[in-house]
Amino acid sequence: KAGWTELDVRAVDTVRVLAADAVQKVGNGHPGTAMSLAPAAYLLYQNVMRHDPSDSHWLGRDRFVLSCGHSSLTQYIQLYLSGYGLELDDLKALRTWGSLTPGHPEVHHTNGVEITTGPLGSGLAAAVGMAMAQRRQRGLFDPDAKAGTSPFDHHVWVLASDGDIMEGVTHEASALAGHQELGNLTVIYDQNTISIEDKTEISFSEDVAARYEAYGWNTVTIDWRGDGSSGGYVENIDQLFTALERSRTSRKPTLVVLRTIIAWPAPTKQDTGKSHGSALGDAEIAATKELLGFDPKKSFEVPRSLLTHTRKVVARGKAAHKAWDKGYAAWRKAEPERAALLDRLVAGKLPDGLDKAVPTFAADAKGIATRAASGKVLGALADVAPELWGGSADLAESNNTTMEGQPSFIPKSKQTREWSGGPYGRTLHFGIREFGMGMILNGIALDGLTRPYGGTFLVFSDYMRPSVRLAAIQQAPVTFVWTHDSIGLGEDGPTHQPIEHLAALRAIPSFDVVRPADANETGAAWLTILRNRRPAGLALSRQNLPIVDRSGANGAGKVSGVAKGAYVLYDSSKATPDVILVATGSEVQLAVEARETLEKAGIATRVVSMPCREWFEEQTPAYREKVLPAAVKARVSVEAGVPQGWRDIVGDAGEIIGIDHFGASADAATLFREFGFTAAAVVAAAKKSLKTVKGK
């Protein structure tokens, strides 16, 4: 039993009227769910979750994910009542410029918020990643402790809505959560059957509990609605409490289907679409307050005594933390090496000698694919950087995402003839679920200690795009490994050939798109990505790419230039080049070949390899000028993608070699030739650009 007193009931009712008041004050927002979920949220923060409001980064804390992020008040008001630092004025500033209470919860912005949510489905799907991260971390630090006895045991709690449940991404992540037997994950699904188009029955009639059982979840249905009439509505807290407590020790993830009436108990707007996303209006709020025994003339009224009561959770949290500290100290003493690793990860530092671990690839005209180089880099980093782990959405061999010899992260019973492993394994198998993978990677990164990566074909970055955006918004250090990065993938044809994807991904703010030109650039790219600790995507070739001779013999630029985003790979024979060829990835070799022809024709030609435009933009103006002198207007860019965005680099007099239509099904060599990616085309473009410059 939760053991609620009248004061707790009053606190919950206070949450309801605060939610209504806050939305009313700003004039827009989502009051309904915050009102009806008030008891569940209060129960979580006051009675269920292990957390310490005085230390929101406590390693042992449970995680809370508000998947229905539009109901941000559900979380903000609990953070206020629990003493996380939010005060009444913050609630009054809801959804206004500069406030701590934006429309949707934002991690790194409001203390106590673990994850940015709002796009439906994203929270629940990322929570699956958090639960996976917990298990992996447990395996890294304390694999032998009995269940529930380790300082690294934490639980992930999710509040989700009808919208979350309808979205495809939660299907993907939930199927995987069931498969992975994530007993450390509990989802309260607020089945209020109301969305923006009013009753969800207009588009939604599936049996959700049966679906989750089909995934291998435990499900519990708790029906507060009763017969659906107002009179029948009973918020049975103890029943919910029991279900949540039981879920804590389950060996499967748990879905609690909680049937509520949205905006309960607003007299006329409960159970309506309007109460989901609009202010209730003064009259309705007054009526609600009267119903609950509040003064209808007062707003934002919270007696000190009530706050004193709810903030007792601080003391309880501190006590729990203290108790945990004991076990943690014992663990540190017993496990000095693991403790050292933990300290490094908590500090966000990379291991010493990481750069030395990255393999060097000898010059080779035939070369290897950058995806293959990436696989070798990952393998070489495996022992040095245990925080690094990942896998693929069913393309392990194609994406080269498996660190050789590392076990799969999988329940023992689900090993297959090809893959062995266990619950603490390292190689992830996402199935054919790219979007779920992206959100799970975000959740892993947000859980805080490890560095996840995940692979698919570049063209399918589209499937996971909302997760890439959320990685960027949250600056979650996820590495997306996107192979088969151009028409160079060949025969699979237009549906599988990325054309617009490099441009489309570069368009995402605060996200790094990295397209190395050879094996050594690939190693340098990985190193830089790990150092930057930001979300990044690697675009890697399916086909072999020649490995540039970096011995210094032929004047090739050092691979350390990769970290600067662009660098002079081969300079021109004259101090100031006549023309600059800028290329990325697999097209750099075309620029190199064209340079030889141009130089022979007496045209001083510089080749710039530009693996990451975002990194280059961060360099000093002096460095950028050194690489791309403003005075040299004759320029050509070469990239097997849409021209969009390259005008900024080549300028009015420049030429852009790209592809602005879909690809075709044929071998790669034919496609490059037919679509105009040849050294001859680069030479012609260089001459055209020189002519344009002279013509001015």
- Considering only 22-30, 151-159, 229-237, 287-295, which stretch makes contact with its own copies by CB under 8 A? 22-30
22 is a contact residue toward its own copies (CB under 8 A): no
- Taking the least distance from each CB to its own copies, the nearer of 527 and 650 is 650
Contacts within 8 Å (CB) and 24+ apart, 230-238: 230/261, 230/265, 230/270, 233/261, 233/264, 233/265, 235/39, 237/2, 237/4, 237/39, 237/43, 238/1, 238/2
Restricting to residues 586-615, which ones interact with its own copies according to CB under 8 A?
none
Give the nearer residue to its own copies in terms of CB position, either 165 or 240.
165
Q: Do 471 and 478 meet the contact criterion of CB atoms below 8 Å apart? A: yes
448: left (phi over 0), alpha (psi -120 to 50) or beta: left
By CB under 8 A, tell whether 644 contacts its own copies.
yes
For residue 431, state whether it binds its own copies (rule: CB under 8 A).
Answer: yes
- Whichever of 123 and 561 has its CB closer to its own copies, that residue is 123
Binding residues for its own copies restricted to 542-581, rule: CB under 8 A: none
The H or E element spanning position 540 is: strand 536-540
Asked if the bond preceding 265 is cis, omega within 30° of 0, the reply is yes
* Interface with its own copies, residue 305, by CB under 8 A: no
Instruction: State the minimum distance, in angstroms, from the CB of residue 644 to its own copies.
Output: 5
545 alpha carbon, distance to own chain's centre:
30
CA distance 451 to 378: 12
* Cβ count within 10 A of residue 220: 19
- CA diameter of the chain: 90
Determine if 695 is a binding residue for its own copies (CB under 8 A).
no
Q: How far is the CB of 191 from its own copies (least distance, A)?
A: 14
114, 167, 387, 434: which one is catalytic?
434
Question: In the complex, what is the shortest distance from the CB of residue 627 to its own copies, in angstroms, rounded to a whole number?
Answer: 18
| Binding positions for its own copies, 375-394, rule CB under 8 A | 392, 394
364 binds its own copies (CB under 8 A): no
The dihedral sign for the CA sequence 611, 614, 619, 623: positive
Residue 172's CB is within 10 A of a number of other CB atoms, namely 27
Q: How many CB atoms lie within 10 A of CB 101?
A: 27
* Binding residues with its own copies: total (CB under 8 A): 117
404 counts as binding its own copies under rule CB under 8 A: no
Determine the Cα–Cα distance for residues 383 and 260; give it in Å rounded to an integer: 50
Which of 496, 624, 687, 688 binds its own copies (CB under 8 A)? It is 496
Confirm if 272 and 198 have CB atoms less than 8 A apart.
yes
Among 419, 448, 684, 692, binds its own copies (CB under 8 A): 419
Buried b (16+ CB within 10 A) or exposed e, 625-644: eebbeeebbbbbbbbbbbbe
Q: Which of 79, 608, 642, 686 binds its own copies (CB under 8 A)?
A: 642
- Backbone conformation region of residue 182, classed left if phi is above 0, alpha if psi is from -120 to 50, else beta: beta
Query: Which residue in the set 151, 645, 686, 689 belongs to the binding site for its own copies (CB under 8 A)?
Result: 645
Which 113-142 residues touch its own copies, going by CB under 8 A?
116-120
98 belongs to the binding site for its own copies (CB under 8 A): yes
3-state secondary structure of 613: helix
Residue from the set 90, 198, 245, 364 that interacts with its own copies by CB under 8 A: 198
Judged by CB under 8 A, the residue of 426, 506, 564, 635 near its own copies is 506
Of 509, 461, 536, 506, nearest to 649 (Cα)?
506
- Distance in angstroms (rounded) separating the CA atoms of residues 137 and 450: 8
- Phi/psi class of residue 552: alpha, beta or left (left: φ > 0; alpha: ψ in -120 to 50)? left
Q: What is the SS3 assignment for 303-331?
A: CHHHHHHHCHHHHHHHHHHHHHHHHHHHH
CB atoms near residue 6 (< 10 Å): 7
To its own copies, the closest distance from the beta carbon of 429 in angstroms equals: 4
**Residues in 469-488 that interact with its own copies by CB under 8 A:** 469-470, 472-473
Interaction between residue 5 and its own copies (CB under 8 A): no
Q: Report if residue 680 touches its own copies, rule: CB under 8 A.
A: no
Question: Which one, 96 or 576, has the nearer CB to its own copies?
Answer: 96
Among 90, 213, 245, 596, binds its own copies (CB under 8 A): 213
- List binders of its own copies among 214-253 (CB under 8 A): 214-216
How long is the chain? 696
Q: Which is nearer to its own copies, 144 or 418 (by Cβ)?
A: 418
Site for its own copies in 145-174 (CB under 8 A): 162-163, 166-172
Nearer to its own copies, 385 or 489 (CB): 489
Which residue, 260 or 408, is less far from its own copies as judged by CB?
408
- Amino acid in the structure at residue 550: R
Using an 8 Å Cβ cutoff, are 298 and 48 in contact?
no
By CB under 8 A, what part of segment 26-55 binds its own copies? Answer: 26, 28-29
Smallest separation (angstroms) from its own copies to the CB of 115: 11
273 contacts 194 by C-beta, under 8 angstroms: yes
In angstroms, give the least distance from the CB of 80 to its own copies: 17
**What does the DSSP 8-state code read for residue 44?**
I
User: Taking the complex as a whole, how short is the minimal distance between the CB of residue 346 and its own copies, in angstroms?
Assistant: 27
* Least CB distance to its own copies at residue 436 (A): 7
- Name which of 51 and 534 has its Cβ closer to its own copies: 534
Minimum distance of its own copies from residue 200's CB (angstroms): 7
What is the chain's percent helix, strand, coil content, to nearest 5? 45, 15, 40
Using alpha carbons, list the distances in angstroms from residue 95 to 100, 104, 106: 9, 8, 12
90 binds its own copies (CB under 8 A): no
Distance of alpha carbon 16 from alpha carbon 37, whole angstroms: 9
Q: Are 17 and 316 in contact (CB under 8 A)?
A: no
Name which position in 249, 308, 360, 416 contacts its own copies (CB under 8 A).
416
Residue 436 touching its own copies (CB under 8 A):
yes
Q: Does 631 bind its own copies (CB under 8 A)?
A: no
By CB under 8 A, tell whether 466 contacts its own copies: yes
Known catalytic membership, residue 206? no
- Pick 168 or 405: Cβ nearer its own copies: 168
Selected from 175, 287, 369, 598, the binder of its own copies by CB under 8 A is 175
Nearer to its own copies, 75 or 239 (CB): 75
- CB closer to its own copies, 82 vs 461: 461
- Indicate which residues carry an active-site annotation: 434
